[in-house]
Structure 1
Amino acid sequence: MNNSLTNRLGELAKLFFKMGVISFGGPAAHIAMMEDEVVKRRQWLTSEHFLDLIGATNLIPGPSSTEMAIHVGYIYAGWVGLIVAGASFILPAALITGGFAWVYVTYGTLPQVAPLLYGIKPAVLAVILNALWRLGKKAVKTSKLLVIALGVAALVLLLNVNEAIALLIGGLLGMFWLHFPAKRNSPEDNTNLLIAGLTTGATLKATAAVGASAATASAANVSLWQLGLFFLKIGSILFGGGYVLVAFLQGGLVEEYGWLTQQQLLDAIAIGQFTPGPVLSTATFIGYIIAGVPGAIVATVGIFLPSFFFVAALNPLVPRLRASKWTAAFLDAVNVSSVALMAVVTLQLGAATLLVAKAPYVDFVALAIALLSAVLAIRFNINAAWLVLGGALIGWLFFTLGLYPIK
């Protein structure tokens, strides 16, 4: 291995391990932080290429932010970079979640992290808004793309359409509206259109294949291969992020197999929500409860492994998709639809973070943290890691001094 590649792998490991430690707030926040690091600061990718990867990643199963890390690793340092970036991003979340699982099993309680999250959430909101503005300027190239973005946002917000379906609708609409054929398709266009069709068609078939069965077992005698296979199936078909994950885990672990109690599942989900990194690290917690350290390892590998294969298969196709006029239009529409979905998540996160149920209906402390973080990010280019750490410190101080109640 030459020195240049070794240096690149070291850069990838350092960057994505750090991001795995401080990336609170879900996939939108993770992607916002990656955009700041790999596009704005290091210039490993252009904004356009980064958007293409977001759009492509949203068309395949698995955790989108983890798959973005894997994409960046592959582009920057090849196959080894693919593994290093993905593993470095996943490892901190798995270790932190595993530590919480040990505390939970040993003492029967969850650690109190609400004060830290109180300050982190508004800081993360500012990070997402900063990235949303930059990505939106690149994605919304025409008035037609703006209409598509608004339409996709309306489908999700008003009609509760599944995010993957809304994304596919936006892409197909854009493919025909942005590039209505004036002449017969060339063989190259047909080939690239087939690639896009196979990619998105496979996602819909996979989504419908959720109900795979396995032998019934109790938590006391669950074998590692059963546990690993269960999470491997979830990692292969999961669309829609954390909320869909909850449905899969409830149906499989609690109702069908009886490996977990309802309360254990709720506690596992809570751990996944307030730890940094990908929310699928919930699998680490569940694996530890069911089968100790070996179970944690098997569950973690099982749920994340498909993402590495999906990215390895998809990444070489992205430039080819961009080269065809038909599929380039599809990709443009998917990109702007992805930004629209990110905007929807930002609205939901903003409402949950800044609004309260009674007068004055606005959490002014959280609002102040969000505004200060936004100014520091946009005007002074402060790194997202410092914003997250600063928000956590403010939340802890307010809670410790009793100056403001935790919601």
Structure 2
Amino acid sequence: MLIFLFLMFMQFSLLAVGGANAIVPELHRVVVSELHWMSGQEFAALFALAQAAPGPNVLVVSLVGWKVAGVPGAIVSLIGICLPSSLLSFWVARWWQQARGSRLTTAINSGLAPLTVGLIGAGVAMMAASHPLSLTGGALLACCALLSWRTRLNPLWLLAAGAAAGLGGLV
């Protein structure tokens, strides 16, 4: 199981363009729909926990590994997701410094931004589909998205508002 987790997350590592949140839809599909390691709601809970915890977004991977194979699973999953992309980033950064300003690097920059936004948007859609959204939940989501986009409000305040709404039974 540990070797399978390591190899699976090595593959995900190279798909995580823009960060670990970009692979959330595919990770959800594999661990929930294909391998049946957990339900959609369990996955959503692990994702929410990883987002609420301080640190990088990649924490969701270690929580999935932990759910599947305990502490060794968490460690192996984290190494699997970090190692290939770190090595690739190192090699690409060295090349990027040499090719900076070229037409190719400009084209890559132009193409990666919309790709990253699309992958993260797909993650949001997948998480929304795995948990039913009420009218108040949708309104809270819309307000938080608008405030995140238009203000410099610390996201922790938005998280606190969501937690208060949940505790109050509004969502």
Same fold (TM over 0.5): yes
Once the two structures are TM-superposed, the CA of residue 127 in structure 1 deviates from its matched residue by 4.4
User: Deviation digits for residues 232-286 of structure 1, max 9, x if unmatched?
Assistant: xxxxxxxxxxxxxxxxxxxxxxxxxxxxxxxxxxxxxxxxxxxxxxxxxxxxxxx
Q: Which runs of 5+ in 1 are unaligned?
A: 1-7, 179-332, 334-407
The correspondence for 2:9, drawn from 6, 9, 16, is: 16
Compare 120-129 and 75-84 and name the one that shifted more. 120-129
Partner of 1:49: 42
Aligned length: 168
Matching of residue 29 in structure 1 with residue 29 in structure 2: no
Q: Pick the aligned partner of 1:173 from 159, 165, 169.
A: 165
Q: How far 1:83 moved relative to its partner?
A: 0.5
Deviations 1:147-191 (A, max 9, x none): 22122222212333122331122112321243xxxxxxxxxxxxx
For residue 133 of structure 1, the aligned residue among 114, 125, 146 is 125
Q: Which structure has the greater CA radius of gyration?
A: 1
Q: Which residue of 2 aligns with 1:78?
A: 70
Cα distance per residue 1:179-234 (max 9 Å; x no partner):
xxxxxxxxxxxxxxxxxxxxxxxxxxxxxxxxxxxxxxxxxxxxxxxxxxxxxxxx
1:58 is displaced (CA, Å) by 1.6
Deviations 1:283-318 (A, max 9, x none): xxxxxxxxxxxxxxxxxxxxxxxxxxxxxxxxxxxx
Q: Please give the alpha-carbon distance, in whole angstroms, between the structure 2 residues aligned to 1:130 and 1:97.
A: 24
Aligned equivalents of 1:12, 1:148: Cα separation in 2: 36
Tell me which moved more, 42-51 or 24-33: 24-33
Higher RCO (C-alpha 8 Å, min separation 6): 1
Q: Deviations over 1:343-394 (max 9, x none)?
A: xxxxxxxxxxxxxxxxxxxxxxxxxxxxxxxxxxxxxxxxxxxxxxxxxxxx
| TM-score (norm: length of structure 1) | 0.37
The CA deviation string for residues 40-77 of structure 1, in whole angstroms up to 9 with x for no partner, is: 3322221101111121112111111x101100111111
Residue equivalent to 2:153? 161
Give 5+ residue unaligned stretches, structure 2: none
Structure 1 residue 145 and structure 2 residue 137: aligned?
A: yes
Identity %: 21
| Structure 2 length-normalised TM | 0.81
Q: 1:121 to 1:34 in 2, by over 3 A?
A: farther
Q: Deviation digits for residues 122-141 of structure 1, max 9, x if unmatched?
A: 55555444443332133343
RMSD between aligned alpha carbons?
2.6
Change (3 A) 1:144 1:103: closer
Aligned-partner Cα distance in 2 for 1:14–1:165: 38
